[in-house]
Amino acid sequence: MGKGGMSDGDHADRCCGEAINGDVQQENMAAWLLGVKNLKIQPYKLPNLGPHDVRVRLKAVGICGSDVHHFKNMRCVDFIVKEPMVIGHECAGIIEEVGSEVEDLVPGDRVALEPGISCKRCNLCKQGRYNLCRKMKFFGSPPNNGCLANQVVHPGDLCFKLPDNVSLEEGAMCEPLSVGIHACRRANVCQETNVLVVGAGPIGLVTLLAARAFGAPRIVIADVNDERLLIAKSLGADAVVKVSTNIEDVAEEVAKIQKVLENGVDVTFDCAGFNKTITTALSATRPGGKVCLVGMGQREMTLPLATREIDVIGIFRYQNTWPLCLEFLRSGKIDVKPLITHRFGFSQKEVEEAFETSARGGNAIKVMFNL
């Protein structure tokens, strides 16, 4: 029985479409989140193709930490799943059909999809900060359906052509990489910025890659997990520091961090988002430095009083990042391929196994579906 008393069969009847946009073709299927740890592949009827839309056959879809939160808890921070929802937002695929007003895309183009559709009319959108739009419709963020499906309809201007040497999997990785790039932009990382990244999960690791691409000369990563620290080192971290989950260890751990970054920490990215990690970030950063809050581990955190003029800045998703992501990937300045540790197909069994694998963490960094 799905959430809200809806049976799987009832739900299938509700979403089932005989054809897509009038074409006689195989039924579009998607992974629907029906309840806690309850994912079912069921029919997904697509909306009609608008003049500025494209229909994309998905080929690569990644699992994000927020997807795992929805899978395990039916919520991620304040975003609560109240009815069945197609999950997923990291994706790339091949254009199958274009709307009448789409001029720069044609069927057969390989594209990476930016998953958020803003209103384009509010003051925030007009100021270029469309990621903060209150009317944002974001793939796989309730109540909006996501992209773990055979096909989706999406605005053409949010589909970015992949360079010839960039794979569809790498295209799907533009979404998590965008978080790291937006964080580095917000913190003004440059060739003179020594960086500390707290948390070596997928977002911490893409933040490491982005900071290096932005020119950071020294980057240190701190984490509780030895496996993750080894991966961080292999990706180019200059040093790694093993930390605990005990807040009483902060002073000792900060001393270790400051020892390996002798010139001081200019910017710290908290990519975990817990009381312990933000306390570490504020304590390790030099006077006049910056702490950027990236991870959302807790809804509320207690911050120590800072008297050293440290700027605390937040980020939420990203804005205008896909072109730079694709250029970094095309040029080889960033290589995201080592982050893809597990691959699955698109069957009921594999969808369940993939989400369980991602939820366990451990050596699973990025779990990717090949459709």
Read off the pLDDT of residues 100-118 as tens digits, 9 standing for 90 and up: 999 999 999 999 999 999 9
Cβ neighbours of residue 147 closer than 8 Å, sequence gap 6 or more: 58, 61, 86, 88, 89, 90, 91, 113, 115, 139, 140
pLDDT the model gives residue 302: 76
Q: Are residues 134 and 233 in the same domain?
A: no
pLDDT the model gives residue 107: 98
Q: Domain containing 116 — which CATH number?
A: 3.90.180.10
Q: Are residues 296 and 231 in the same domain?
A: yes
Asked if 203 and 221 touch (Cβ cutoff 8 Å), the reply is: no
Q: Structure tokens of 70? A: 């929805």
In angstroms, how far apart are the furthest CA atoms of the chain? Answer: 66
Q: Are residues 298 and 252 in the same domain?
A: yes
The three-state secondary structure class of 34 is: strand
pLDDT the model gives residue 306: 65
**Residue among 321, 270, 323 nearest 131 (CA):** 321
pTM over cut 0.85: yes
User: Does residue 123 sit within a domain?
Assistant: yes
| 227 pLDDT above the threshold of 50 | yes
User: What's the mean pLDDT in 192-197?
Assistant: 97
| 10 pLDDT above the threshold of 90 | no
| 13 pLDDT above the threshold of 50 | no
* Least trusted range by pLDDT, from 2-16, 170-184, 301-315, 325-339: 2-16
Q: Are residues 230 and 261 in the same domain?
A: yes
User: Does residue 42 sit within a domain?
Assistant: yes
Report CA torsion sign: 15, 19, 20, 25: positive
**Separation of alpha carbons 352 and 114, rounded Å:** 25
Q: Are residues 301 and 194 in the same domain?
A: yes
Cβ count within 10 A of residue 350: 15
Residues in a beta bridge with 268: 196, 291
Asked if 183 and 292 touch (Cβ cutoff 8 Å), the reply is: yes
**Separation of alpha carbons 122 and 134, rounded Å:** 9
* Least trusted range by pLDDT, from 127-141, 207-221, 306-320: 306-320
User: What's the mean pLDDT in 256-263?
Assistant: 92
Q: Are residues 282 and 360 in the same domain?
A: no
Chain-centre distance for alpha carbon 197: 17
User: Does residue 274 sit within a domain?
Assistant: yes
User: Does residue 210 sit within a domain?
Assistant: yes
Please count the structural domains in the chain.
2
Residue ranges making up the domain that contains 342:
29-161+336-370
pLDDT the model gives residue 305: 66
